[in-house]
Structure 1
């Protein structure tokens, strides 16, 4: 069996920046353990698999170690592949996933994710969080992700987590965020518990980031930058109980996986 794959740098208009994701468009689902092995073989933060269902698509995402319920950058990458490589003749792609209904729309040369709002709540044990992240937090919140607000962009850049300690905390990963110098806000994302010490650019974390900063800055339209080594720019809108996350994507590689 041979399977075609495409590697895309999401949230970037040029190669070697943004967040790389591998994309497989399948005719039918592979076994779960095989998809996990494929993701481990590619060893990127996320490998996405999409299968057509009716007029839309079903999408699943795997890190090198586990399947995850929601991933923004690999959804953006998948949409880019479906639009640009497979020439889907529409302006909007609808996806079903573990987290519900998602969509990606082409608007003005940019792709826009439509994701659900996630509102975190206060966390009691802030000391363990600060010790694991090596920071002094202004605010500590949580949902499925840990959400830690710092005082400045420089504090976000200076964050050096204890990955072993962070992996033991009861969240998928940890977002650190602060007001930006050139953008409305900046962030970084660490998820050692699911095999990603630091994710370059994370669309799904903006389900939490956008409503938080929209309320704090009293605006529904924001710009964001994820301050990882690769970095990536995101354009953000809050629309009721949904967030719109805009970005570019660049195809950087394609090939064939040979299975026997």
Structure 2
């Protein structure tokens, strides 16, 4: 039997039961990909797997149905686990990932992630997607991963009920719907709906999409520092800053649960030596 430590955190929030949840599994070395995918599917949640130590880590993210190129909220969760549970007190953590190198800095209670900026470009939206919206968008653009749709007002975003999982016209990771905020102190709101293949109807707060949202709103509002909120039922708040070709996003995370997974040893290759051991070590 393989035993693997696991943690669940709620991210971009200062209270549990809100923000975006993520699971984190620290590993001494990589497990077979089908096992990683199986764990994420069993978790039914975005799961970050991390390998490394002493401020330098590799990270992979899996949704319940596939590997993801980038998950910022799960990276923030991983950073909190590395510091609070594994004891790595480095001020800056470096993560090597499919999207390149990411960094996490600790600012009191908040974690600051540095993401590559995602510039949106105008694109003609398929009619099948337009019909799903139920409103005429101010603008529709494409980013590296998602459609970005701008709604005329905040109430439209908060009142949406959009399901794209079975819509073949959505060839992206998903759709980010956003609007300027009516609330003083908040610049914009958004919601993120998963496309086919993600297995996620709605991401409560898609932090990586804020590299795209920040590129759009910083130009529209003529400011580099922005406060954003999720209009999903779980809510969440994120501070975004445009800095050259990077977007800095900042937020808190709260540990909700820790435990241990038990995976049958026959799921692993014969040469794998983890059987009857705990796949997790404290090295700091």
Tell me whether the two structures share a fold, i.e. TM-score over 0.5: yes
Q: Whose helix fraction is larger, Structure 1's or Structure 2's?
A: 1
| Equivalent pair of 2:163/2:193 in contact (CA under 8 Å) | no
Note the residue ranges of structure 2 that are not aligned, 5 or more in a row.
Answer: 265-284
Query: Structure 2 CA distance, aligned partners of 1:162 and 1:94?
Result: 35
Corresponding residue for residue 38 of structure 2: 37
- Backbone CA RMSD of aligned residues: 1.4
| Equivalent pair of 2:37/2:67 in contact (CA under 8 Å) | yes
Query: Structure 2 CA distance, aligned partners of 1:125 and 1:167?
Result: 13
Pair member with larger Rg: 2
| Equivalent pair of 1:126/1:140 in contact (CA under 8 Å) | no
1:202 aligns with 2:206: yes
Q: How many residues align?
A: 259
Query: Structure 1 CA distance, aligned partners of 2:126 and 2:159?
Result: 19
| Equivalent pair of 1:106/1:112 in contact (CA under 8 Å) | yes
Note the residue ranges of structure 1 that are not aligned, 5 or more in a row.
Answer: none
1:191 aligns with 2:194: yes
Residue 119 of structure 1 aligns to a residue in which SS?
coil
Corresponding residue for residue 52 of structure 2: 52
Query: Structure 2 CA distance, aligned partners of 1:168 and 1:5?
Result: 36
Deviation at 1:55, TM superposition (A): 4.9
1:219 aligns with 2:223: yes
1:124 aligns with 2:124: yes
Output one character per residue of 1:187-226: Cα deviation in whole Å (capped at 9) or x when no partner.
0000042111000111100010011101100000010001
1:247 aligns with 2:251: yes
Deviation at 1:162, TM superposition (A): 4.1
Query: Structure 2 CA distance, aligned partners of 1:166 and 1:241?
Result: 33
| Equivalent pair of 1:133/1:166 in contact (CA under 8 Å) | no
| Equivalent pair of 1:132/1:165 in contact (CA under 8 Å) | no
Q: Are residues 134 and 162 of structure 1, via their aligned partners in 2, closer, same or farther at CA, if it must alter by over 3 Å?
A: farther
Corresponding residue for residue 71 of structure 1: 71
Output one character per residue of 1:125-158: Cα deviation in whole Å (capped at 9) or x when no partner.
3533221233321100012211101111101112
| Equivalent pair of 1:115/1:242 in contact (CA under 8 Å) | yes
Deviation at 1:161, TM superposition (A): 1.8
Corresponding residue for residue 271 of structure 2: none
Query: Structure 2 CA distance, aligned partners of 1:43 and 1:135?
Result: 31
User: Which structure 2 residues correspond to residues 162-177 of structure 1 after superposition, within 5 A?
Assistant: 162-164=163-165, 166=167, 168-177=169-178
- Superposed structure 1 runs of 4+ greater than 2 Å apart: 125-129, 132-135, 162-168
TM normalised by structure 1 equals: 0.96
Q: Are residues 131 and 241 of structure 1, via their aligned partners in 2, closer, same or farther at CA, if it must alter by over 3 Å?
A: same
Output one character per residue of 1:85-142: Cα deviation in whole Å (capped at 9) or x when no partner.
1111211110010000101101132111110000121111353322123332110001
Query: Structure 2 CA distance, aligned partners of 1:113 and 1:172?
Result: 21
1:259 aligns with 2:263: yes
Output one character per residue of 1:19-65: Cα deviation in whole Å (capped at 9) or x when no partner.
11000010000111110000000001x10000017851010000000
Structure 1, 116-125 or 204-213: larger mean CA deviation: 116-125
Q: Are residues 140 and 179 of structure 1, via their aligned partners in 2, closer, same or farther at CA, if it must alter by over 3 Å?
A: same
